[in-house]
Amino acid sequence: MNLNWSLNKGIPVGNNCGYVGITFDKLVTFTTEQGKRQFRIVIYGAYNVFGLIGPEKNGIVILDIDNYQVVLDDYQQMVTGYHGPNSRVLKTADNIGQMNWDNFQQFCNSNNKSRYKI
């Protein structure tokens, strides 16, 4: 899997698919009982599926850096991601990035967009 995640090139997640139109990208590190955990909080404008760009699939994605997995995505989705995030989405992403470990874990684990529990 290509882990060269960058703002301009998008964030590949395997099989030539990935999050594109990145406008916010924040790395957060938590110290837990099990050790350090790192996550990325990203706002993306669309999802690229084998070259087919879907602007209706956009929002906030949380990436588990340690396990190379998507924790949740499509959170705070807008009708289209072509025009970038609105102030509500930006504020939400920033607030998530300021949570402590307990709040972050609870947010991820109870979110209806979560793919797995952290």
Task: Look at residue 116 and tell me if it is in a domain.
Answer: no
Task: Look at residue 118 and tell me if it is in a domain.
Answer: no
81: number of Cβ within 10 Å: 25
Instruction: Find the domain containing 70 and state its range.
Output: 11-110
Task: Look at residue 84 and tell me if it is in a domain.
Answer: yes
Domains contained in the chain, number: 1
Task: Look at residue 60 and tell me if it is in a domain.
Answer: yes
Task: Look at residue 18 and tell me if it is in a domain.
Answer: yes
What is the residue type of 104?
F
pLDDT at 63 over 90: yes
Residues 22-49 have a mean pLDDT of 94
Task: Look at residue 2 and tell me if it is in a domain.
Answer: no
pLDDT at 4 over 50: no
Question: How far is Cα 58 from Cα 10, in angstroms, rounded to an integer?
Answer: 13
Q: In Å, how far are 2, 10, 73, 78, 83 from 21, measured between CA atoms?
A: 18, 6, 14, 14, 10
Q: In Å, how far are 65, 70, 99 from 33, measured between CA atoms?
A: 17, 22, 17
Which of 3-7, 45-49, 93-97 has the largest mean confidence?
93-97
C-alpha 91 chain-centroid distance: 14
pLDDT at 115 over 90: yes
Mean pLDDT rounded to a whole number for the chain: 89
pLDDT classification of 52: cutoffs 50, 70, 90: confident
Task: Look at residue 6 and tell me if it is in a domain.
Answer: no
CA atoms within 13 A on the CB side of 73: 17
Question: How far is Cα 30 from Cα 37, in angstroms, rounded to an integer?
Answer: 5
Task: Look at residue 52 and tell me if it is in a domain.
Answer: yes
